[in-house]
Amino acid sequence: MNYSQRFTSAQPKRSHRAPDLSRLRQHMCNELVRRGITQKNVLYAMSTVPRHLFVQDALRSQAYEDAPLPIGYGQTISQPYTVARMSELLEVEKGMRVLEIGTGSGYQTAILAQMGCHIISIERLQELFRKTQTLLHQLGFRGIHLQRGDGTLGCPQAAPFDRIIVTAGGPKIPEPLLDQLDPENGILLMPVGSKQRIQEFIKIRKVHGVTRQEACGSTTFVNLIGSYGWRFP
């Protein structure tokens, strides 16, 4: 059974007025290529993971527009270009161990899983954690382990990680995450900014114990809350 067949039972029933979601997803991928996304594994994942199942039912017709959408609990699902760009900047390869901070809707998690990664993903909000855990289980994803807690503390018992991705913006990169990054060939990606919701992608690369930092453009994410992030609930 191929990947798309696994989601047959999860697809909403279409009426004659329902949008062609497969066509919209393909259009989304064409736009990603036009905007410079080139990695084949990223484009494959974006073309096969059904983003409309990760948004609220009332917003499914908008799922493949290049815009963030609310998912409840004061959180959003990132726009497709942002998800694709972060996945590309992360430079993942099949079989890599990835720590994700901020599970959210689970869409970025699903993209990385479809790229062949083994993922530990940490979500702070109990209700969102339960909802996303149920969805990812229903969709049959493998290699994903979800945890609830303070993501800024990471998951030291499972470190080191080949890749660490933070899907919320904080004032600085949490020290525990830097400590848990593989020292030989690790990459950490996070939106960082001194002002809330105004950030720049910072890419940290560790090679043989030497750390290098690269700025990869401006962005806007919800706030990273935790012991090493913003300190409000």
Total domains in the fold of the chain? 1
Are 124 and 148 in contact by the 8 Å Cβ rule? The answer is yes
**Tally of CB atoms within 10 A around 57:** 8
Which of these ranges, 118-122, 179-183, 194-198, has the smallest mean pLDDT?
194-198
107: in domain? yes
Instruction: Check residue 4 and give its pLDDT.
Output: 46
Which of these ranges, 7-11, 36-40, 45-49, 212-216, has the smallest mean pLDDT?
7-11
- Among residues 4, 22, 78, 121, which one is catalytic? 78
45: in domain? no
Read off the pLDDT of residues 27-70 as tens digits, 9 standing for 90 and up.
999 999 999 999 999 999 999 999 999 999 999 999 999 999 99
3-state secondary structure the chain: CCCHHHHHHHCCCCCCCCCCHHHHHHHHHHHHHHCCCCCHHHHHHHHHCCHHHHCCHHHHHHCCCCCCEEEECCEEECCHHHHHHHHHHCCCCCCCEEEEECCCCCHHHHHHHHCCCEEEEEECCHHHHHHHHHHHHHCCCCCEEEEECCHHHCCHHHCCECEEEECCEECCCCHHHHHCECCCEEEEEEEEEEECCEEEEEEEEEECCEEEEEEEEEECCCECECCCCECCC
Instruction: Check residue 207 and give its pLDDT.
Output: 94
Residue 74 has pLDDT above 60, yes or no: yes
Domain boundaries, position 170: 84-219
For tokens 């149920």, the residue is 134
2: in domain? no
Instruction: Check residue 11 and give its pLDDT.
Output: 54
**Tally of CB atoms within 10 A around 203:** 17
Are 143 and 119 in contact by the 8 Å Cβ rule? The answer is yes
Instruction: Check residue 9 and give its pLDDT.
Output: 45
Instruction: Check residue 16 and give its pLDDT.
Output: 47
> pLDDT band at 194, cuts 50/70/90?
confident
Q: Region 77-102: what's the mean pLDDT?
A: 97
Q: Count Cα neighbours of 107 within 13 Å in the Cβ-side half-sphere.
A: 29
78 counts as catalytic? yes
Looking at the DSSP bridge assignments, the partners of residue 75 are 72
7: in domain? no
231: in domain? no
> pLDDT band at 8, cuts 50/70/90?
very low
Residue 13 has pLDDT above 70, yes or no: no
Structure tokens at 215: 């700025």
44: in domain? no
Say which CATH number the domain at 139 has.
3.40.50.150
Instruction: Check residue 17 and give its pLDDT.
Output: 57
97: in domain? yes
211: in domain? yes
Instruction: Check residue 226 and give its pLDDT.
Output: 96
Q: Region 10-14: what's the mean pLDDT?
A: 51
Read off the pLDDT of residues 103-113 as tens digits, 9 standing for 90 and up.
999 999 999 99
Residue 1 has pLDDT above 50, yes or no: no
Q: Phi and psi for 138 in degrees, rounded to 5?
A: -65, -35
